[in-house]
A and B are shown apart, each in its own frame.
Chain A
Amino acid sequence: MKNRHWKHVSAIAAAAVMVAAISGCSSNGEGNSPGVQSTPSAGTDGGSAVAEYPSSFSYWVELDGDSAASLTNFSEVAAYKKLEEITGTKVEFKHPGGDGAQVKEQFNLMIASRNLTDVIQTNWLAVPKGPQNAIEEGTIIRLNELIDEHAPNFKKFLDENPDIANMIMTDKGDIYAFPFIRKADQLKVYYGPIVRQDWLDKLGLDKPATIADWEATLTAFRDQDPNGNGQKDEVPFLLETGAVRNESLNQLIGAWGILAKFYQKDGKVQYGELQPEYEQFMATLSDWYAKGLIDKDFPAVDGKLKDAKVTGDTLGAFYGFASGSIGKYLDLVKDHPTFALSALSHPALQAGGVSAAGQLSPTYPGEHAVVITSEAKNPEKIVKWLDLGYGEEGHMLFNFGIEGESYAMKDGKPEYTEVITQNPDGLAFKQAQARYMRTHFGGPFLQDLDSFLQQMKYPQQLEAVDVWAQAENQIQLPPITLTAEESAKVASIMNDVNTYSDEMIIKFIMGVEPMSNFADYVDTLKQFGVEEAIGVYQAALDRYNNR
């Protein structure tokens, strides 16, 4: 009896284990999606009828940190409430949980499971296989005809700005998204090196301009106890390798005349980590690390730790944002007698030189672009709704919120009220903005220069933007798009490269891997096929230049 009992149990258990083992790898997905769907085109059917606003549609968009501080859903944002009043459209917002990789994960799963919302806002330049592929596979629809007929505001903007129209198209000329546009140059710079000005003053130092100056300054921070607590607890510089390898942030690397990954020189695509300049860059960082000039914890530092180091009076120099760092920290550190931050220019190698590249957002950054999916029942109506964001009324709603509440007109110019600047509920500037508008983060509209400048509450912030703008910024790539095959090829190469490089760079800097192995590192990158990826980017760049 006992034996038989065991047999039953064990049979079931065996089945369970086998199944668990085998199914561990299968990816869930709907098996019943139809083949490539044809894109509904508004031009052919009922083109004469003027579209109404839709009664409702669903909208997938990340709930950014500033919004999450006081909102759980964008339907609570005043601008969207007002839009609902105007149009009668009920927008059903769906937000992925978490941030960063979690958002990416949920986006990919949504695409894979085909449970698409009607519109999706994300960085469409960065989606796997690119926007052209998404159109060809029937995930999203081509918008050119719909915009011609139903989006007068946006069409007018594109007609007046053919260069921008070029940027938001694929190589085949398909417009796939309602983009977030930073038109004025001052809107494009918001990130760069920041230093504790009071530490410099205390030690009688000038702002460092070259890499050699930086080393001297950081050494002084290390040795001369600028925070005055008698302990050697100062962290001279916080390096963030993720930002070094990010082609729009370009932390520090510009001094060496290159970017970490893909960049262009005279129309030729190059890859930074293969260059001798990159070796020098690594050697410098590794030297700084050995001397204790770089935070020992740098590979594990996240936003929270960084905040703690700045507000805890231990960090001397770091990279950050005009509002998100300078503004925030000046707001946060109130009880410190001397705490002062100021922006440093992007360092150069030679005295009197200018860094080849700093942070510079493209006019069309790809981020916050809104597409219409093939699931949408009435794309022409949704286009009409989205077009509002590019009209006068929508522009004010998204950039300033509600007149009389979040802004008031002064001398014909909108100005934020105290609800935003000195929020009664104690919300930070951007968090307060998030309740009324979307300009603090991004969305399908044109970012307003006035609203951006008014975010700069402290003069140091305005100064920072000027200082950081001083870089040549000629080597960054434009917003090129890849074909599906190219994109798959590059992804397969670059996944391995990124895994390997993320790891190796940190090892070089920490001295775990001696600099003498740099040639091997370059060889390995070539084995992964980096040169093939360069070829793909070159082709894409050529196509872009021929648009």
Chain B
Amino acid sequence: MSDRWFVRLARDIRINRHVYIMLLPIVIYYVVFHYGPMYGLQIAFKDYSPARGFLGSSWAGFKHFEEFFGSMFFLRILGNTLLLSLYSLLFFFPAGIILALLLNELRSERLRRAVQTISYMPHFVSLVVIVGILFDFLARDGLINQLIASLGIEPIPFMRAAEWFRTIYVGSDIWQNVGWSSIIYLAAISNVNPSLYEAARMDGAGRLKQIWYVTLPGIMPTVTIMLILFIGKFMTVGFEKIILMYNPVIYETADVIQTYVYRKGILEANFSYSAAVGLFNAAISFLLLVLANTVAKRLGETKLW
């Protein structure tokens, strides 16, 4: 059986060698930068010391995991990570789809191009700059607070109020990336067979009905795949952005697993502990991915594997 599999693979490589050659750099990339480093995961179970190396460090068993689960911050950072991702899923994820649907309905090609270009431009602005803009706009004497003040409302210290962090984080994420994330849906929409729209119009469907019954089902496979991929990254919130945005006052809502790993691991050099926390994070991610895929499989045709 496996012999035959190799024979078939060899034949396939012979026939499609150009495709395989194109694949090669990507495979190498993953092997070197993603599979290779997994060797280092063992330090999560060791008392790692750089001087002794991976093999030389002594085993510590589940000590670091126990320390993490017993830590007072465990529930908080886990909750913060999940909530932040959940809000992104609820608000950010649909935003791209909605924008794509709206753009698709625009009749004027020029307007559509303009809106598209403008909406995905912020994606290319550096995160540091984006957060800098946030700080300026949301400062006590910033633009937003001046507007609020002119309405007679007390200024709000946005960047120092724990209750505002998630809103600002997700909101600015939508602003920055909605155009970019709509591109794939626009591509999917353009693949919908035009004859379906004609048929729908014949049946008397208006534009909303056409969106509902033709466009949405047409892009559903793409949406599902994007959703599964999104859930795969569920535990990987954009921690660079959080590090730029947070301060101790808003740790309560802003401290997530990765920022904690960063502080513990890189700043305090507790490599083993942070590897354990990171491994836990990855395990949850993996679990979520499998779960999402299973659900998608049950519900319809589309799935990752």
CB pair B39–A31 under 8 Å, yes or no, is: yes
CB pair A108–B248 under 8 Å, yes or no, is: no
Q: Mark A285-303, 1 if CB is under 8 A from B, else 0.
A: 0000000000011011000
How far does the alpha carbon of A35 sit from the alpha carbon of B248 in the complex, in Å?
A: 39
Question: B285 contacts the other chain (Cβ, under 8 Å)?
Answer: yes
CB pair A129–B269 under 8 Å, yes or no, is: yes
How far does the alpha carbon of A510 sit from the alpha carbon of B247 in the complex, in Å?
A: 15
Q: Mark A1-35, 1 if CB is under 8 A from B, else 0.
A: 00000100011111111111111111111111111
A499 CB to closest chain B CB, in angstroms?
Answer: 7
User: Could you say which interface size class chain B belongs to?
Assistant: 35 or more
CB pair B281–A18 under 8 Å, yes or no, is: no
The interface-forming segment of B48-56, B105-113, B118-126 is: B48-56
Q: Mark B257-272, 1 if CB is under 8 A from A, else 0.
A: 0100101111111110
B200 CB to closest chain A CB, in angstroms?
Answer: 22
CB pair A101–B267 under 8 Å, yes or no, is: yes
Residue of B nearest to A507 (CB): B249
Q: Mark B34-75, 1 if CB is under 8 A from A, else 0.
A: 110111110110000111111110000000000100011100
Question: A428 contacts the other chain (Cβ, under 8 Å)?
Answer: no
Q: Which parts of B208-246 form the interface with A (CB within 8 Å)?
A: 221, 225, 229, 232-233, 235-236
A165 CB to closest chain B CB, in angstroms?
Answer: 27
CB pair B304–A13 under 8 Å, yes or no, is: yes
Residue of B nearest to A25 (CB): B278
How far does the alpha carbon of A138 sit from the alpha carbon of B289 in the complex, in Å?
A: 43
How far does the alpha carbon of A49 sit from the alpha carbon of B30 in the complex, in Å?
A: 53
Question: A128 contacts the other chain (Cβ, under 8 Å)?
Answer: yes
CB pair B267–A31 under 8 Å, yes or no, is: no
Residues of A within 8 A of B50 (CB): 29, 33, 111-114, 137, 139
How far does the alpha carbon of A336 sit from the alpha carbon of B257 in the complex, in Å?
A: 49
Identify the interface centre among A16, A31, A114, A502: most chain B CB within 10 Å of its CB. Answer: A31
A194 CB to closest chain B CB, in angstroms?
Answer: 24
B117 CB to closest chain A CB, in angstroms?
Answer: 28
A339 CB to closest chain B CB, in angstroms?
Answer: 22
Given the known A-B contacts A128-B269, A495-B268, are A25 and B304 also in contact in the complex, defined by CB atoms under 8 Å? Answer: no
Q: Which parts of A18-65 form the interface with B (CB within 8 Å)?
A: 18-37
A512 CB to closest chain B CB, in angstroms?
Answer: 8
Question: A527 contacts the other chain (Cβ, under 8 Å)?
Answer: yes
How far does the alpha carbon of A77 sit from the alpha carbon of B140 in the complex, in Å?
A: 42
Residue of A nearest to B49 (CB): A137
CB pair B30–A10 under 8 Å, yes or no, is: no
B294 CB to closest chain A CB, in angstroms?
Answer: 13
Residues of B within 8 A of A109 (CB): 266
Given the known A-B contacts A14-B305, A111-B50, are A24 and B248 also in contact in the complex, defined by CB atoms under 8 Å? Answer: no
CB pair A104–B267 under 8 Å, yes or no, is: yes
Question: A500 contacts the other chain (Cβ, under 8 Å)?
Answer: yes
Given the known A-B contacts A13-B304, A495-B270, are A31 and B34 also in contact in the complex, defined by CB atoms under 8 Å? Answer: no
Question: A528 contacts the other chain (Cβ, under 8 Å)?
Answer: yes
A312 CB to closest chain B CB, in angstroms?
Answer: 11
Residue of A nearest to B255 (CB): A499
CB pair B37–A111 under 8 Å, yes or no, is: no
Residues of B within 8 A of A26 (CB): 37-41, 275, 278
B280 CB to closest chain A CB, in angstroms?
Answer: 8
12 contacts between A and B (CB under 8 A): A21-B289, A22-B282, A24-B278, A25-B261, A25-B274, A26-B37, A112-B269, A114-B50, A300-B247, A491-B270, A495-B263, A496-B72
Q: A33-B51, A300-B160 are in contact. List 7 more A-B contacts (CB 8 A).
A: A10-B303, A19-B34, A26-B37, A27-B271, A33-B56, A300-B247, A500-B72
Q: Which 9 A-B pairs have the closest CB atoms?
A: A25-B278, A137-B51, A128-B269, A502-B248, A21-B285, A17-B232, A19-B34, A26-B37, A33-B53
